[in-house]
Structure 1
Amino acid sequence: MARRLRLPALAAALAACVASVAGCASGTPPATTALTPTFTYSYPLDVITDWDPATSYSNELVALQNVYESLTRYDPGTGTVKPQLATSWSSTAGGLTWTFHLREGVRFHDGNPVTAQAAKAAIARTIAAQGGAAYIWGAVSSIDTPDPHTLVFHLSYAAPMDVIASSDYGAYVYDTAPPGVKPGALKSWLEAAHDTGTGPYTVADWNQGQEAEVTLDAFPGYWGGWSGRHYRQVVFDHTPDVTTAWQTLETGDVDFRSQLNPELFKEATHFRALGTQATASLQNLIAFFNTAAGPLTDVRLRQAVQNAVDYDGLLAALHGSVGPAQGLIPSGLPGNDPALTRHQNLPLARKLLAEAGYGPGGRHLNLSLTYAQGDDAQQLFVTLLSSDLQALNITVDARPMQWNAQWAQAKATDPAHRQDILLMYWYADYASAYSWFVNLFHSAQPVSFNLSYLDDPVVDKEIDAIPQLTATDPAAERANYALLQRQLLEQDAAAAPLFVNTYQRVYASGITGYRDNPAYPDVVFVHDLEPSP
């Protein structure tokens, strides 16, 4: 595909032509106007919610995984971890001690060298910040740095640190002492879109609320090098509307779209200028019910809504872009249970509503629901659910919203101001199902992602037991997951898993080297790509 100049670059080129008419007329543009290979990613949601690598736990993953790096990277195709900032590692003492040897000669984007001491400081800061993914380091009791390129983790219980160190969040190695930044000012400095990563790209521009939201530029000193053809710039366009996204793919104004809809994806497979990939994911869509305030504090009403969902109809209408939810845990992770696949049961929904005094012939029920603006799959679910609930004397006030606005409402200080039902995607932080439980259903104050607001000490105890079982007793771990899922989905009815995504990617056909990695949802590792000539 022919490359094009984005508008800012085009304006610069025109200005240069005015300043150098002879050069432009001769067909030889001045050196300063040479085309920069730019990879443009069309993303349906707000890209940035948090720039800080210690606490980042949302959509910015798609950008930050190109700016920051971890000790290892997980390869779901082989089920193994690969070297990144660590070149080798080993464990002793039954998995209680892990030694990582760091790549030599690596520098942070601020120029400081990457040392074992710097890596330790980053991990320690992430643990201390207690952000969304800090829990991944829960087994770590201490870290030693016997030399500048060796990290030794001492654990309080056996854990797969090579896999944990590949986590998509919370495992970044970054400089905690960039030059010129005063101690205590790092957080605010990072949130102003500065970075201290080691990755191939560095943050160049952030236009919050604008279409071209984030721009990354190539970091010249990247340890992986720049020989051969690479994209020198990455732009993340915030494009909620799927029709607009499709049009920009057709015209070549963007190079990649994380998801269209089934009809447009099918059309893209026949479009010569576009390439497509469909990949099974570790990401599911979950409907969370407000157990703390409003009508859904009655478990019978939550169970009624669960049974009113037309799970099979939703799958059929989405034409292969999703698969069935088999409990909370997607297929491919320990604890997945096909026996937990749900099907619509309207007679049971009516019975439960009647017991609570609602439903046909009973009181009318109003429920508020929020979902992602521009997400056709969520919109379809809302349409189907609203129709089925209307027949049960329930009205759904459904509002499409950007994620930041939904999340703010869900965390409102007054529980009465929160939505009754919230739709949210979730995916693994590393190759484990633990993330679904510790983040989504463990009691927590303040509220973060536990958006059913469940506060059950029995559930908390079972969740807390999981990490120590992972490395020592996998059979007990699976049994614990089975018990927890039945408690959460059947007895507490805190949520309804709706489907598991099949990633349907669309990109410019001239790009080579793209391979979806579901362990890093929606991430394109742009340095791995080769642009068309």
Structure 2
Amino acid sequence: MRRRLIAAALALLLAGCSAPLARQEQRPPAKESTFVYVENLGVVTDWDPASSYSNEIIAMQNIYESLTFYNPVTKKAGPRLATAWRASPDGRTWTFTLRSGVTFHTGRPMDAASVKASIERTMASKSGASYIWDAVETIRVDDPLTVTFTLKYAVPLDLVASSGYAAYIYDTAAAPDLKKWVSTGRDAGTGPYTVAGWRKGKSDELTLKAYPAYWGGWDRPHYTTVKYVVVPEPEEAWRRLLQGEVSFVHRLNPALYRRASRTAGVRTADMPSFQTAMLLFNTASGPLTDVRIRRALRKTIDYSGTLRVLRGAASPATGLVPDGLLGHVAGRSPRQDLQGAADLLARAGYGPGRLPLRLTLTYAQGDEDQRVFVQRLAATLEPLNVTLVAKAMPWEEQWARGKKRGQDIFLMYWWPDYADAYSWFANVFRSAESVQFNLTYLKDRDADALIDTLPQLTVTDRAAAQKAYAKLGRRLLDVQAAAAVPWVVNYQRAYLSGIQGYSDNPAYPDVVFVHELRPVG
């Protein structure tokens, strides 16, 4: 969802590829080669696989692995550390068969007992994205390669187990105080790469090296070293890519991306993501408690114009759920209607010739797309006698203010922890006494009741789940007008043409699964 926003403001894009096949022969790569990933923000904020919930996902997904892996082609969970699984008809019992011959980087074997220990430790941490396991009542070791989960209520546990956060399986016996042990830049994963060096706060922050005993094997050309370097300025990242000093830039501004698409020796990738930009309206206090004003604001947004000015960095949004996920509703593209907005404002006593309206908005500091959007919105509102007071803020400060209901409009991005639309509704729109990401502060019992049906319906009746999602979208956006969704983020990458096998996976924010790449030339 937004966690990487929590610690790192807004790194925008997602990447990945298919799960690797098991290899019988395990040996280190024969030839040295290095893949260099450019990040515009610091890479690691938390080394603990239980609580990690930020930028370090780009490295952690190459160090640690989960039971399953989301396949964006089939739109289902596929094998990773588990090779097969089955669910009971009611969706409350799930049994996973584990891959044999897998070892942790500590040398110990990965088995059912270590899976149970990992997930129970993550659950007990009550941090990061550990909530994904809230449905789990018990975990039972049936045999060394079989583990069974009993749930308090049905959830799609195969998708949960593919989460980009909090689903890692790790060696809990690596140290008596595992959190302290990993905090210095050590790891206890099963992935193809292990930590070789960490220089916190430095430009060349993190280096990974190949784990020779990786279950996926090294019998084809692979990168043996992965480096993560921090380059804040897009122009500098582009220069270093042109000079061959770096391999992959996960985001360029639109002008640089267009140059990249015309440059020999550079490849580009462009695809929609699971990430939506959302304007969350304060339904609990201030002028936006009046639903007429909220509906008016939705009509003032220049949806098609936003797509034009973002020049390829955005796709149309047709609701809360982006294309590719259960719950997406096609054909509901909103349109600007300034006369309709003026009429609604007039009914509320505002607008031209009536009372002036002053609204506050917060958005992410350093995000050019959000800045451009906010400037255009302010210019649109001015002739309607509405003044928009916008403030760019670091994410932590913006979020802290939001939890105190300190704004009328909160602009942020959202994406799911795993490839399921439930998190948009349960985390952002469900009623709650304490404010976390429910930054509309909405209290709607009917919506809550419908939200609570989603996990079980997703498992037992997907057609009914789709109808429930559509009904929720109409209630939250059209009836309550609690939010507006101006665009879906597009991921635009640039990388050296000698890299083969790269593809984006929207379920894993900005991750390049380096073991799947093939260095050529």
TM-score by length of 2: 0.85
The one of 58, 62, 66 aligned to 1:66:
62
The match for 2:94 is 98
Deviation of 1:195 (Å)? 2.9
For the structure 1 residues 354 and 521, does the alpha-carbon distance in structure 2 shift closer, same or farther, using more than 3 Å as the test?
A: same
Deviation of 1:344 (Å)? 1.0
Select the structure of larger CA radius of gyration.
Answer: 1
Counterpart Cα distance in 1 of 2:66 and 2:465: 27
The match for 1:3 is none
For the structure 1 residues 428 and 397, does the alpha-carbon distance in structure 2 shift closer, same or farther, using more than 3 Å as the test?
A: same
Counterpart Cα distance in 2 of 1:530 and 1:363: 63
State how many pairs are aligned.
Answer: 491
The match for 2:268 is 276
**2:208/2:225 contact within 8 Å kept:** yes
The one of 344, 368, 382 aligned to 2:336:
344
The match for 1:219 is 211
Counterpart Cα distance in 2 of 1:77 and 1:158: 25
The one of 139, 146, 153 aligned to 1:150:
146
The RMSD of aligned alpha carbons is 2.8
Deviation of 1:213 (Å)? 4.3
For the structure 1 residues 446 and 38, does the alpha-carbon distance in structure 2 shift closer, same or farther, using more than 3 Å as the test?
A: farther
The match for 1:249 is 241
1:308-367 CA distances to partner (integer Å, 9 max, x unpaired)?
A: 110011112233432211110112222222343211111222233334443333444443
> Could you tell me which amino acid in structure 2 is paired with residue 329 of structure 1?
V
**2:306/2:373 contact within 8 Å kept:** yes
The match for 1:32 is none
Counterpart Cα distance in 2 of 1:515 and 1:242: 22
For the structure 1 residues 347 and 244, does the alpha-carbon distance in structure 2 shift closer, same or farther, using more than 3 Å as the test?
A: farther
Counterpart Cα distance in 2 of 1:189 and 1:293: 46
Deviation of 1:401 (Å)? 4.1
Deviation of 1:529 (Å)? 1.5
The match for 2:411 is 423
The one of 97, 114, 118 aligned to 1:118:
114
1:461 aligns with 2:449: yes
For the structure 1 residues 485 and 104, does the alpha-carbon distance in structure 2 shift closer, same or farther, using more than 3 Å as the test?
A: same
Q: Trace 1:358-369 onto structure 2 (pairs within 5 A).
A: 358-369=350-361
Q: Which moved more, 1:163-172 or 1:238-247?
A: 238-247
Counterpart Cα distance in 1 of 2:241 and 2:312: 21
1:11-39 CA distances to partner (integer Å, 9 max, x unpaired)?
A: xxxxxxxxxxxxxxxxxxxxxxxx96332
The one of 374, 381, 386 aligned to 2:373:
381
Deviation of 1:527 (Å)? 1.6
The match for 2:123 is 127
SS in 1 for 2:361: strand
The one of 467, 479, 482 aligned to 1:491:
479
Deviation of 1:69 (Å)? 0.4
The match for 1:171 is 167
> Could you tell me which amino acid in structure 2 is paired with residue 198 of structure 1?
T
1:476 aligns with 2:464: yes
Counterpart Cα distance in 2 of 1:445 and 1:531: 52
The one of 171, 194, 200 aligned to 1:202:
194
1:441 aligns with 2:419: no
In the alignment, structure 1 segments of 5+ residues that lack a partner are 1-34
Counterpart Cα distance in 2 of 1:253 and 1:245: 9
SS in 1 for 2:296: helix
Deviation of 1:297 (Å)? 3.7
Counterpart Cα distance in 1 of 2:481 and 2:54: 25
Counterpart Cα distance in 2 of 1:408 and 1:110: 39
For the structure 1 residues 47 and 397, does the alpha-carbon distance in structure 2 shift closer, same or farther, using more than 3 Å as the test?
A: farther
For the structure 1 residues 481 and 91, does the alpha-carbon distance in structure 2 shift closer, same or farther, using more than 3 Å as the test?
A: closer
> Could you tell me which amino acid in structure 2 is paired with residue 438 of structure 1?
A
Deviation of 1:272 (Å)? 0.7
1:463-509 CA distances to partner (integer Å, 9 max, x unpaired)?
A: 11111111222232122112211221123222211112232221111
1:42 aligns with 2:38: yes
> Could you tell me which amino acid in structure 2 is paired with residue 82 of structure 1?
G
For the structure 1 residues 379 and 187, does the alpha-carbon distance in structure 2 shift closer, same or farther, using more than 3 Å as the test?
A: same
1:123-171 CA distances to partner (integer Å, 9 max, x unpaired)?
A: 1222333445334334433221121221122344554433332222232
**1:242/1:374 contact within 8 Å kept:** no
Counterpart Cα distance in 1 of 2:33 and 2:152: 48
For the structure 1 residues 401 and 458, does the alpha-carbon distance in structure 2 shift closer, same or farther, using more than 3 Å as the test?
A: same
Counterpart Cα distance in 2 of 1:432 and 1:358: 40
For the structure 1 residues 110 and 424, does the alpha-carbon distance in structure 2 shift closer, same or farther, using more than 3 Å as the test?
A: farther
For the structure 1 residues 366 and 241, does the alpha-carbon distance in structure 2 shift closer, same or farther, using more than 3 Å as the test?
A: farther
TM-score by length of 1: 0.83
Counterpart Cα distance in 2 of 1:86 and 1:77: 19
For the structure 1 residues 42 and 129, does the alpha-carbon distance in structure 2 shift closer, same or farther, using more than 3 Å as the test?
A: same
> Could you tell me which amino acid in structure 2 is paired with residue 447 of structure 1?
V
For the structure 1 residues 507 and 483, does the alpha-carbon distance in structure 2 shift closer, same or farther, using more than 3 Å as the test?
A: same
Deviation of 1:50 (Å)? 3.9
Q: Trace 1:281-296 onto structure 2 (pairs within 5 A).
A: 281-296=273-288
In percent, how many aligned pairs have the same letter?
Answer: 52
SS in 2 for 1:53: coil
The match for 2:517 is 529
1:403-445 CA distances to partner (integer Å, 9 max, x unpaired)?
A: 344334434xx433xx433332222333321121112212345
For the structure 1 residues 344 and 240, does the alpha-carbon distance in structure 2 shift closer, same or farther, using more than 3 Å as the test?
A: farther
The match for 1:25 is none
Q: Which moved more, 1:376-385 or 1:240-249?
A: 240-249
SS in 2 for 1:331: coil
Counterpart Cα distance in 2 of 1:493 and 1:45: 34
For the structure 1 residues 332 and 459, does the alpha-carbon distance in structure 2 shift closer, same or farther, using more than 3 Å as the test?
A: same
The match for 1:56 is 52
